[in-house]
Each structure stands twice: as structure tokens, then as C-alpha cells.
């Protein structure tokens, strides 16, 4: 089946199987920043933005998003660059496997929530698991990114 | 110090967040054969019949492998140095399957769908055997898990498979029974620790291809690329020279990727077919068929004078290694050797026990490596003893604990499977860690409990811990540094970056010694063709062992550059000073910049490549120490625990990168809190894993952690690179005992079995109420 996606601001056509998940379509087409971690929609490393909202691409059928907009980290490079400066200062990046997905979710949160509290940030990002950092360093980095108006 | 002990962003964080290609599966060939494993549905069975004919005939299937395809060569997947302390008790595939998830057969096919179809066509008839699932009944049970004659140990480790004993050990300093009899106060308690899953976010994966020199090239998400090369060579009979193992970026390990999991299969399939292949573990396979932490039963006896001098400690452990003896002896020994020396003023100390086989998922290396289990028992026992003595538990610790300049006889006696190494604690700031931790948590104000209402109670608890910095005389690291034509450097290390920040801190160490910046040192880690050897990322070895290797290398390169500068300037080496940019003769004031020197020796003036390789093997393993304090709230109706704050004050010598060191401690604290509060590998009564996905195996999320307070003691370890000790594991050790002690301070009950679920706490409360009535 042919599916058209507006991916990172570029219309592209993909030939997919009916039961194929978006994460697999993307990886197969070299969007390698999209990863699988759990197979049960629990870990968040497959997150992409679908029409601007974070979704788990491991459990969305590609055919179901025909003619929609998909954003991977390649679509928000400037924001990822900036966020990573804050992560670097806090030493908050460890293995990095989950980081593109986390950055996409942080970016969506920044657009969606105005002046979020610490608790709101935690709850928004709760689906992005991290086994490395213990979260607190990440939170400091995210907070300082949100406050960075440069 | 300019490059070390300063806040430096990791060298790879930006690229990884921006989504650059880097992980193992990103490098799999597009036309890879997909490998899928058929896994045993039974905890213990013999394969009576396996018919692969229909599967082999399926279009798109390349190979169907059973135990008949492999030579009868036992090996261990443990991923340790050689000779391994783990028994050689595993075959790539075997006629027997020993746990639910054990490998029955493997299929290589052109797609995942065809693999699955082929696996459905394989007919297997099992002789189902009675499984052994209770580790407390395993020893000398009539059901023997490893009856096969070929398996063996590499050196004496207490390996007695006919008894279901994978390893055993005992040692005694002084006379424990006599010392205990002479004590005014003695306690005895038995503790249970559960299996924990590593749950790194990148699942285990490996891929292989044959390159244009007809060599086998494997990418693997591993902590031990050099061990993988050796073990594949030994187990599959492929010459070592024919194998290249590349470790690209690894998405977390925690010990779970020290061992080999998919590497044997991709190697065999690609070597046999000449075609590229790959295996990516499903999350279920990661849970069911890789490793978890060794569950243990730990019995602690301890005695003291009425003034609080601890005179005797007796520790007996029964450890469950599951179906294979991977890390069986060494994890169990570390539960003593990196725990018991904390109280070094005893007259007598005894440690012993057995590691037994069961039909559970094998246990293996996991951050803490026995120390978290042992620490839970020891540091809970200290609080029990303090209560019986009517003493403040921190005072009891201060009176008896290890101090700077002291030692313990245990260091010389207990190593990792072998004798140990005597050493003095040249750095031990435990006294400061305790004092500072007390201030940060508000101990005086909060101990034992505070803010109690009808519904809730808050309390504090604490524990101290030690770990190690590599394994002396065993762990070796090496580095190569090469000078480039504009004065920047390549640093090639065998040390294995797995997300812990080793590439960054090793770059900082090189930059410090070469008096340059991190930006001018280009690091590349772990490729058996291109980098020198390193044992790998385990045993808290990287900062201390690999860091010292990098320091040695940088020193030698600096000397080699000075020789060249002296030659070009026509002066003597001893007169040359180097500040990172300029070489200057102190007498003649003649000078040449590094940039000019490197350009000249590359292009125009007695040209040569300056490149130095050096290595390091530790002759001691200076322990990092810490004090951990928890502040928590318990709901008195639901017995849910909320962690309000966890204070860690750590002595790891110099922090090469303070923020990354903090990340190591905090990540480990949260992993330890997960094990303390709810993480648990669970099986059905018939031995099938229940916690086989992330819905049934919970790890801490963002909302579970309110605050972490982490500080480092001012400490400088002379034997470490720029004063550093290692810091990868120490953080995980204290949470079980600290939280257990806090629960006791809150509710007056003693938790002796992990994890401390509300159900378990409630059960203890019911027992307490019954006793009080």
C-alpha cells in the first residue's frame, strides 16, 4: 500500500504492508533516530510527533496516518541542538538511546504548556522512561531549557 | 586542573540527542538474514525429537540450527577475563533446556515473518522434567540440572554440578564462634533479596557480515568487545584473527551486556552462510532470556560489647544462579568482600556459602554485583544491633567503621574467585560522608520519625557502603594516542563507553595531561581491530584502570613530543618545557609551537608518526565509599512509600567530570530504589516468567522521584588518575538498607525481604500487632 506522509516538512510516499507500524516504516526508511525499546507502548523511545503531538510510533499503523504530518528529531534539529546544551551542562545525557524521543516530547510540551510546574513537567514526560540518569539531572536541564529565551 | 574536575559536557550528548546514527542496529546490513530463536516453554526438559525438515524447506529460510549443528564445546557466556571464574556449563544449543526461555533452535531467514513461520513448522517433542524452582531446596536435590559430563570449571571454584552447586566458598578470620560467645549482645537475622532486571532501554542486539578480507565483522551492543572476540573464537573454533568486534554506541548496560547473548548466533550464521545476519532481542526475550540479579538468602550474625564495639560478624549466603553459573562465584564473593570490610575492627569474621542452580532465568552481572545484596543484610543488621544496644545507629557505625589509613584482612583473602590483594585505605572519607549526610537530610531534627499524623508518618534511615575500582592484577586497560598534523590528538581506547560517560572522562584525562582542551582530543572506543585491549566496562574499572592507562599513554606521548622538540630546536630534552601549545628551551628561550612541530614532523622534517600505546593493570582497588540517607513518607493505611529525598555523600576521589559522576550516583540510587520498593522478577509456580514486559515489570518513572541530593567528599586518591577512584556502582548499594531502616524508624517493623511492597509491609504490621497483643 502507498502512504503519503508530510515528514519533517517534506511530502514523501512510502510503500507499506497493511499491518506495518510507523516505527518500522520509519526505521526501514533510514529514520534511525526512531527506535524500539519495549514492544508494549511503555518506554517512549519510539516517540514521534504526529500533527505536533507526541505519540508512540511502535503502536500506530502507518496506513492510519496517511496524509498526516510526522516529525522526527531530524525535523527539529535547532531545538534539539539547544536542548542538548542544557543537558550537557547538567551532565544529564547518558546512554542517549531515549534522548531524541525525549527531546521531541519536551518540544511538544513547550508548545502546549505555558509555565508548567515541576509536577506538570513530570507528568507530561512520564511516558519517556530513562534507566540511566535518575531523572533529576534531566529535569534541571529541561527546566533551564524552558527558561532559555535565547 | 583545567580539563578534569570541571563541568564538561559529554563528547557525544549533542550528537545523540540530535539523532545521529550510532547504535548497533543502525549498522546492520539492509539485506541481513534475520535470526529468531525458538525458546523453551518448559523450565526443564530434554528434547526427545526435533524435526526441522518442513522449516528448512520453507522459501526464504537459510538455516535452521539445533544442538546437532554445534560441536560439544562447553563455554560460559559470562564475558569475563581468562581463565573465567564462571563454570563452562553452557552449549550454544543443547539437548536439554533448563529454563523457560532457554534456546531450543534458531532460524535464519530473509524476513522476520518467514522466521516466525519457520519456527511454527519446527516440530519438537520434549521429555518434560520436574523443574527445580526453589533455590533453598536445590543443594543435593535428587533432580540434577547439569548432569552432562563435559562441563567443567577453569580453576577451583567449588563447582559441584552433581550437587546442583555452581560455586562455593568459605573463609574465616579469627574464631567467630568464640568471639560471638564472648559478646555482650548478639543478633541473628536472615534476609532475602530478589532478582532484578537491568532494563536498559536498548534491547540486546548484534549483527554480522563477512568483509572484503573474508573476515567476520560483528557489531554488538556489548560491554566487553574483546572478551566476545575471544569467546566466539573458542566456542565456534573460528581463528581469533578472523574476527573483528565493533562496539558502537551502546544504549545502557548495567552489567546486562557484559555477557554474550545474540553474538554466537550471528557469528555462526554469517560465518557459515557468508551472508550478513542480525538478531534484535524483543523486550520479552530481554526479560526472559538474558540475565537478572542473583537472588540471595543472607544470614547475618553479629556480636558486640555492651559499649558498642563490634567483635564478630558471621555471614552465610545461599545464592540462586538460575540455569547457568554465569558470575555465580564472583557475585556471591563480592557480597562479602566489598561489604564486610566496612567494619574492620572485629576480632573475627566469617563468610561462606553456596551458589546453586535452579530452573530460572540465569543470573549474571548487575551493577553492585553482590554488594547491594550484602549491604542490605549488613547495614540492616547494624541498625538491629544498635537498637538492641540502645545506641544511636550512626554512632555505632562511627565507632566501628573503616577509616582512612586502615585496612581489613578480608582484602588479602577474598578476591574475585581467587585470592585477594592486601591494601590500605589511602582515601576513606566515610566520616565526612556521614557527618555531611546527617546535615543535608536534617537527621537531628527528623530521626527517627517526624510529622506523624493519623494517616501518615515521615522518617529517615541511612546506610554506608563501599565498592571497588576494578579487579587488581586482573583488569587491564590500554590506550593509544596519536598526534595529528595540526596538534590535535586521536585517543583510541579499549574501554567501553556504554552511556556511563567513559569516552568523555578518558578524553578529559588525556587533555589534562597533554595540557590541552577536550575539543582537541578525538576519542574512539572499542573496536578489536583498531583500539588496544581493555577488559571492558564492568567492576567499576573504567575511571581507575582505563583512566590510568590513558594517563600513562598521555605521559609517554608528551615525552616523545619533547624529544622531537629538542631535536628540532637543537637543544636538550631536559631543558624543554611544554605548556600544551609551546615547547620552550628554558636556557636559550628557543621555542616551537605544537602546531608547527606536528606539521613539520608530518610533512617536512625527519617525518614520523608520533603514536604511543600504554596500559595499566591495578595493583590495588581503592574503594569508593558513600553514606546514603533517605527521607520518606509512609501512608499508614495503604503502606505506600513516597521517597521525599535521597541524600548521597560520596567519596570517589577526584570527580573527573563532576556532573557525570553525579549522574552515575543518581542513576544508581534510583535503580537501587526501584529494587528496594517494587522491582521484582516474578515467576508462576510452574517456572514461567510473569514479569516479561514493561507492563509487568515496573521501573521508577519521573513521578516516583521527588528529589535527590548528591555531594562529593573532598578526596584525592594518589593511585588514581588525577586522584580519581571509580563511581559506576557505589550508588546502588545503600537504598535497600537505608529504606529498610527508615521503615523501621517509622513503623517499628523490620523488613527482611526485598522489595518492600505495601503488601509485605502490611504483613509485617499484622505480625507486629499480633505480637504486641
Burial of residue B608 (number of CB atoms within 10 Å: 0-12, 13-18, 19+)? exposed
Smallest Cα distance from A88 to chain B, Å: 4
Instruction: Please tell me the distance from the alpha carbon of residue B578 to that of residue B597, in angstroms, as a whole number.
Output: 12
Asked whether the beta carbons of residue A39 and residue B284 sit closer than 8 angstroms, the reply is yes
Taking CA atoms, what residue in A is nearest to B657? A91
Residue range B530-577, pLDDT digits in tens: 999 999 999 999 999 999 999 999 999 999 999 999 999 999 999 999
Q: In terms of Cα–Cα distance, which of B759, B729, B604, B595 is closest to B664?
A: B729
* pLDDT score for B106: 98
Q: How many CB pairs (< 8 A) connect A and B?
A: 170
Do B310 and B345 contact (CB within 8 A), yes or no? yes
Q: Which of A46, A73, A100 is the last residue of a domain?
A: A73
* pLDDT score for B569: 95
* pLDDT score for B416: 78
Instruction: Please tell me the distance from the alpha carbon of residue B747 to that of residue B648, in angstroms, as a whole number.
Output: 24
Smallest Cα distance from B501 to chain A, Å: 6
Structurally, chain A folds into a number of domains equal to: 2
Specify the residue for cell string 532486571: B197
Do B406 and B344 contact (CB within 8 A), yes or no? yes
Instruction: Determine the average pLDDT of the residues in B187-210.
Output: 98
Choose the mutation target among B6, B12, B16 for the interface with A, i.e. most A CBs under 10 Å.
Answer: B16
Tell me the pLDDT band of A94, cut-offs 50, 70 and 90: very high
Same domain, A98 and A64: no
pLDDT at A131 over 80: yes
From chain B, the residues in CB contact with A92 under 8 A are 659, 663
Instruction: Please tell me the distance from the alpha carbon of residue B410 to that of residue B640, in angstroms, as a whole number.
Output: 39
Tell me the pLDDT band of B480, cut-offs 50, 70 and 90: very high
* pLDDT score for B723: 98
Do B321 and B362 contact (CB within 8 A), yes or no? yes
From chain A, the residues in CB contact with B671 under 8 A are 131, 134
User: Cα dihedral sign for B175, B181, B186, B190?
Assistant: positive
Instruction: Determine the average pLDDT of the residues in B502-514.
Output: 98
From chain B, the residues in CB contact with A76 under 8 A are none
Give the closest of A81, A88, A137 to B666, CB-based.
A137
Smallest Cα distance from B179 to chain A, Å: 43
Give the closest of A43, A84, A134 to B13, CB-based.
A84
Give the closest of A91, A122, A132 to B657, CB-based.
A91
The string of DSSP codes covering B547-594 is HHHHHHHHHHHHHHHHHHHHHHHTS-GGGEEE-SSEEEETTT--EEEH
Mean pLDDT, chain A, integer: 97
pLDDT > 70 fraction of chain B, expressed in percent and rounded: 100
For residue A16, the domain's CATH number is: 3.10.20.30
Instruction: Determine the average pLDDT of the residues in B335-340.
Output: 98
Same domain, A69 and A14: yes
Asked whether the beta carbons of residue B9 and residue A38 sit closer than 8 angstroms, the reply is no
* pLDDT score for B339: 98
> Which cell numbers hold the place of B613?
600505546
Q: In terms of Cα–Cα distance, which of B251, B663, B679 is closest to A101?
A: B251
Asked whether the beta carbons of residue A132 and residue B498 sit closer than 8 angstroms, the reply is no
B114-B116-B117-B123 Cα dihedral, nearest 10 degrees: 130
Q: Which of A73, A101, A120 is the last residue of a domain?
A: A73
* pLDDT score for B39: 98
Smallest Cα distance from A35 to chain B, Å: 9
Instruction: For residue B244, give the 3-state DSSP assignment.
Output: strand
> Which cell numbers hold the place of B57?
524447506
What is the bridge-based pairing of β-strands B625-635 and B103-109?
unpaired
Same domain, A47 and A103: no
Taking CA atoms, what residue in A is nearest to B664? A133
Smallest Cα distance from A65 to chain B, Å: 23
From chain A, the residues in CB contact with B7 under 8 A are 89, 91
Compute CA B302 distance to the chain's CA centroid, rounded to the nearest angstrom: 29
* pLDDT score for B679: 98
Asked whether the beta carbons of residue A87 and residue B17 sit closer than 8 angstroms, the reply is yes
Give the closest of B17, B694, B703 to A43, CB-based.
B694
What is the bridge-based pairing of β-strands B33-39 and B96-97?
unpaired
Residue range B681-724, pLDDT digits in tens: 999 999 999 999 999 999 999 999 999 999 999 999 999 999 99
Instruction: Determine the average pLDDT of the residues in B360-368.
Output: 98
Same domain, A106 and A131: yes
Classify residue B60 as left (phi > 0), alpha (psi -120 to 50) or beta.
left
Instruction: Please tell me the distance from the alpha carbon of residue B656 to that of residue B395, in angstroms, as a whole number.
Output: 32
From chain B, the residues in CB contact with A131 under 8 A are 198-201, 252, 254, 667, 671, 699
The DSSP call for residue B543 is I
pLDDT at B605 over 90: no
> What is the CB neighbour count within 10 angstroms for residue B589?
7
Bridge partners (DSSP) of residue B167 are B355
Residues in chain A: 150
Asked whether the beta carbons of residue B663 and residue A130 sit closer than 8 angstroms, the reply is no
Q: Which of A40, A73, A106 is the last residue of a domain?
A: A73
pLDDT at B165 over 90: yes
From chain B, the residues in CB contact with A130 under 8 A are 201
pLDDT at B443 over 80: yes
Residues in chain B: 773
Taking CA atoms, what residue in A is nearest to B699? A131
Q: What share of chain A is helix, strand, coil (3-state, %, to 5)?
A: 45, 15, 40
Q: What share of chain B is helix, strand, coil (3-state, %, to 5)?
A: 30, 25, 45
For residue A105, the domain's CATH number is: 1.10.150.120
* pLDDT score for B79: 97
Compute CA B611 distance to the chain's CA centroid, rounded to the nearest angstrom: 32
> Which cell numbers hold the place of A15?
510503500
Asked whether the beta carbons of residue A92 and residue B250 sit closer than 8 angstroms, the reply is no
Choose the mutation target among B7, B18, B666 for the interface with A, i.e. most A CBs under 10 Å.
Answer: B18
pLDDT at B1 over 80: no
* Helix extents (H) in B193-262: 225-236
Give the closest of A32, A81, A128 to B21, CB-based.
A32
* pLDDT score for B742: 98
Same domain, A62 and A80: no
* pLDDT score for B751: 98
Asked whether the beta carbons of residue A133 and residue B21 sit closer than 8 angstroms, the reply is no
Residue B749, C-beta contacts closer than 8 angstroms, at least 6 positions apart: B743, B761, B764, B765, B767, B768
Smallest Cα distance from B174 to chain A, Å: 42
Tell me the pLDDT band of B249, cut-offs 50, 70 and 90: very high
> Which cell numbers hold the place of B695?
507492563
Taking CA atoms, what residue in A is nearest to B697? A42
Same domain, A94 and A126: yes
Instruction: Please tell me the distance from the alpha carbon of residue B494 to that of residue B544, in angstroms, as a whole number.
Output: 14
From chain B, the residues in CB contact with A129 under 8 A are 201, 694, 699, 701
Enter the pTM of the model: 0.97
Mean pLDDT, chain B, integer: 97
* pLDDT score for B352: 98
Q: Dihedrals φ, ψ of B690, to 5°?
A: -90, -40
Same domain, A65 and A99: no
* pLDDT score for B417: 77
Asked whether the beta carbons of residue A139 and residue B702 sit closer than 8 angstroms, the reply is yes
pLDDT at B512 over 90: yes
Residue range A19-34, pLDDT digits in tens: 999 999 999 999 999 9
Bridge partners (DSSP) of residue B219 are B207, B246
* pLDDT score for B535: 96
Same domain, A144 and A105: yes
Instruction: Please tell me the distance from the alpha carbon of residue B312 to that of residue B308, in angstroms, as a whole number.
Output: 12
From chain B, the residues in CB contact with A59 under 8 A are none
From chain B, the residues in CB contact with A45 under 8 A are 201
Same domain, A43 and A82: no
What's the domain range around A109? 75-149
Same domain, A119 and A108: yes
Asked whether the beta carbons of residue A80 and residue B13 sit closer than 8 angstroms, the reply is no
Instruction: Determine the average pLDDT of the residues in B326-333.
Output: 98
pLDDT at B655 over 90: yes
Instruction: Please tell me the distance from the alpha carbon of residue B47 to that of residue B128, in angstroms, as a whole number.
Output: 9
Does the ipTM exceed 0.95? yes
Tell me the pLDDT band of B418, cut-offs 50, 70 and 90: confident
* pLDDT score for A135: 97
Instruction: Determine the average pLDDT of the residues in B500-505.
Output: 98
Same domain, A66 and A22: yes
Same domain, A90 and A109: yes
Tell me the pLDDT band of B647, cut-offs 50, 70 and 90: very high
Instruction: Determine the average pLDDT of the residues in B377-396.
Output: 98
Instruction: Determine the average pLDDT of the residues in A94-108.
Output: 98
Instruction: Please tell me the distance from the alpha carbon of residue B135 to that of residue B364, in angstroms, as a whole number.
Output: 16
Amino acid at each position: 500500500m502507498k502512504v503519503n506522509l508530510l515528514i519533517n516538512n517534506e511530502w514523501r510516499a512510502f510503500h507499506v504492508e497493511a499491518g506495518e507500524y510507523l516505527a518500522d516504516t520509519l526505521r526501514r526508511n533510514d529514520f534511525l533516530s526512531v527506535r524500539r525499546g519495549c514492544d508494549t507502548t511503555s518506554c517512549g523511545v519510539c516517540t514521534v510527533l504526529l500533527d505536533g503531538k507526541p505519540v508512540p510510533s511502535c503502536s500506530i499503523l502507518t496506513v492510519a496516518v496517511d496524509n498526516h504530518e510526522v516529525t522526527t528529531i531530524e525535523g527539529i534539529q535547532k531545538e534539539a541542538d539547544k536542548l542538548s546544551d542544557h543537558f550537557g551542562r547538567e551532565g544529564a545525557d547518558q546512554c542517549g538511546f531515549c534522548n531524541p524521543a525525549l527531546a521531541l516530547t519536551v518540544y511538544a510540551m513547550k508548545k502546549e504548556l505555558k509555565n508548567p510546574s515541576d509536577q506538570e513537567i513530570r507528568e507530561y514526560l512520564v511516558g519517556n522512561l530513562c534507566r540511566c540518569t535518575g531523572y533529576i539531572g534531566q529535569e534541571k536541564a529541561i527546566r533551564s531549557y524552558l527558561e532559555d529565551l535565547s | 586542573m583545567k580539563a578534569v574536575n570541571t563541568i564538561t559536557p559529554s563528547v557525544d550528548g549533542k550528537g545523540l540527542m540530535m539523532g545521529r546514527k550510532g547504535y548497533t542496529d543502525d549498522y546492520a546490513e539492509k539485506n541481513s538474514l534475520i535470526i529468531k530463536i525458538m525458546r523453551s516453554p518448559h523450565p526443564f526438559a530434554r528434547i526427545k525429537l526435533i524435526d526441522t525438515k518442513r522449516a528448512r524447506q520453507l522459501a526464504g529460510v537459510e538455516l535452521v540450527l539445533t544442538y546437532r549443528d554445534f560441536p560439544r564445546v562447553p563455554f560460559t557466556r559470562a564475558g569475563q577475563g581468562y581463565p573465567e571464574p564462571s563454570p563452562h556449563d553452557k552449549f550454544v544449543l543443547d539437548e536439554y533446556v533448563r529454563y523457560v526461555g532457554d534456546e531450543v533452535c534458531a532460524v535464519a531467514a530473509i524476513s522476520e515473518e518467514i522466521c516466525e513461520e519457520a519456527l511454527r513448522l519446527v516440530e519438537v517433542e520434549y521429555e518434560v522434567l520436574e523443574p527445580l524452582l526453589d533455590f533453598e531446596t536445590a543443594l543435593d536435590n535428587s533432580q540434577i540440572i547439569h548432569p552432562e559430563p563435559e562441563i567443567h570449571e577453569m580453576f577451583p571454584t567449588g563447582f559441584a554440578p552433581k550437587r546442583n552447586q555452581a560455586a562455593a566458598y568459605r573463609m574465616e578470620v579469627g574464631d567467630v564462634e568464640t568471639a560471638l560467645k564472648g559478646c555482650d549482645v548478639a543478633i541473628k537475622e536472615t534476609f532475602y533479596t530478589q532478582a532484578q532486571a537491568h532494563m536498559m532501554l536498548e534491547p540486546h542486539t548484534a549483527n554480522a557480515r563477512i568483509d572484503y578480507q573474508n573476515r567476520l565483522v560483528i557489531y554488538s551492543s556489548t560491554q566487553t568487545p574483546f572478551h566476545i572476540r575471544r569467546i566466539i573464537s573458542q566456542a565456534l573454533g573460528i581463528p581469533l584473527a578472523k574476527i573483528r568486534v565493533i562496539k558502537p554506541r551502546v544504549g545502557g548496560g548495567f552489567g546486562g551486556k557484559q555477557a554474550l547473548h545474540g553474538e554466537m548466533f550471528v557469528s555462526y550464521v554469517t560465518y557459515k552462510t557468508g551472508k550478513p545476519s542480525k538478531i534484535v532481542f524483543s523486550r520479552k526475550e530481554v526479560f526472559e532470556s538474558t540475565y537478572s540479579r542473583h537472588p540471595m538468602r543472607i544470614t547475618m550474625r553479629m556480636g558486640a560489647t555492651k559499649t558498642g564495639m563490634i567483635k564478630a560478624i558471621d555471614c552465610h549466603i545461599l545464592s540462586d544462579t538460575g540455569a547457568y553459573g554465569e558470575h555465580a562465584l564472583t557475585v556471591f564473593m563480592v557480597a562479602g568482600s566489598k561489604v564486610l570490610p566496612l567494619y574492620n575492627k572485629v576480632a573475627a569474621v566469617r563468610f561462606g556459602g553456596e551458589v546453586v542452580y535452579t530452573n530460572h532465568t540465569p543470573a549474571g552481572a548487575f551493577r553492585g554485583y553482590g554488594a547491594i545484596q550484602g549491604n542490605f543484610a549488613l547495614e540492616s543488621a547494624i541498625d538491629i544491633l544498635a537498637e538492641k544496644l540502645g545506641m544511636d545507629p550512626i554512632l555505632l557505625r562511627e565507632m566501628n567503621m573503616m577509616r582512612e589509613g586502615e585496612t581489613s584482612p578480608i582484602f588479602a583473602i577474598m578476591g574475585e574467585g581467587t585470592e585477594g590483594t592486601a591494601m590500605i585505605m589511602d582515601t576513606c572519607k566515610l566520616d565526612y560522608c556521614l557527618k555531611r549526610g546527617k546535615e543535608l537530610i536534617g537527621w537531628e531534627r527528623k530521626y527517627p520519625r517526624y510529622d506523624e499524623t493519623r494517616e501518615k508518618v515521615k522518617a529517615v534511615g541511612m546506610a554506608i557502603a563501599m565498592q571497588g575500582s576494578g579487579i587488581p592484577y586482573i583488569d587491564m586497560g590500554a590506550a593509544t594516542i596519536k598526534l595529528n598534523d595540526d596538534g590535535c590528538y586521536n585517543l583510541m581506547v579499549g574501554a567501553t563507553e556504554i552511556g556511563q560517560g567513559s569516552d568523555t572522562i578518558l578524553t578529559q584525562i588525556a587533555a589534562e595531561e597533554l595540557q590541552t582542551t577536550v575539543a582537541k582530543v578525538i576519542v574512539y572506543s572499542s573496536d578489536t581491530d583498531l583500539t588496544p585491549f581493555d577488559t571492558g566496562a564492568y567492576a567499576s574499572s573504567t575511571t581507575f584502570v582505563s583512566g590510568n592507562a590513558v594517563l600513562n599513554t598521555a605521559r609517554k606521548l608528551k615525552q616523545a613530543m619533547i624529544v622531537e622538540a629538542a631535536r628540532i630546536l637543537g637543544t636538550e630534552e631536559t631543558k624543554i618545557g611544554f605548556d600544551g601549545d609551546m615547547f620552550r628551551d628554558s636556557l636559550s628561550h628557543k621555542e616551537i609551537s605544537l602546531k608547527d612541530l606536528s606539521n613539520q614532523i608530518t610533512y617536512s622534517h625527519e617525518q614520523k608518526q608520533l603514536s604511543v600505546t600504554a596500559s595499566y593493570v591495578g595493583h590495588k582497588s581503592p574503594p569508593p565509599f558513600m553514606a546514603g540517607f533517605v527521607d520518606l513518607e509512609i501512608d499508614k493505611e495503604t503502606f505506600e512509600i513516597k521517597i521525599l529525598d535521597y541524600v548521597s555523600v560520596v567519596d570517589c576521589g577526584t570527580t573527573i567530570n563532576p556532573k557525570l559522576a553525579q549522574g552515575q550516583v543518581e542513576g544508581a540510587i534510583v535503580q537501587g530504589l526501584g529494587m528496594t520498593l517494587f522491582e521484582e522478577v516474578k515467576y508462576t509456580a510452574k517456572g514461567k516468567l510473569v514479569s516479561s514486559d514493561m507492563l509487568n515489570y515496573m521501573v521508577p518513572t519521573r513521578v516516583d522521584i521527588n528529589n535527590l541530593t548528591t555531594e562529593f567528599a573532598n578526596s584525592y586518591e594518589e593511585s588514581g588518575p588525577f586522584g580519581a577512584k571509580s563511581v559506576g556502582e557505589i550508588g546502588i548499594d545503600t537504598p535497600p538498607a537505608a529504606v529498610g531502616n527508615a521503615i523501621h524508624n517509622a513503623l517499628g517493623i523490620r523488613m527482611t525481604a526485598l522489595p518492600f511492597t505495601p503488601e509485605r509491609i502490611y504483613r509485617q504490621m499484622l505480625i507486629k500487632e499480633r505480637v504486641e497483643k
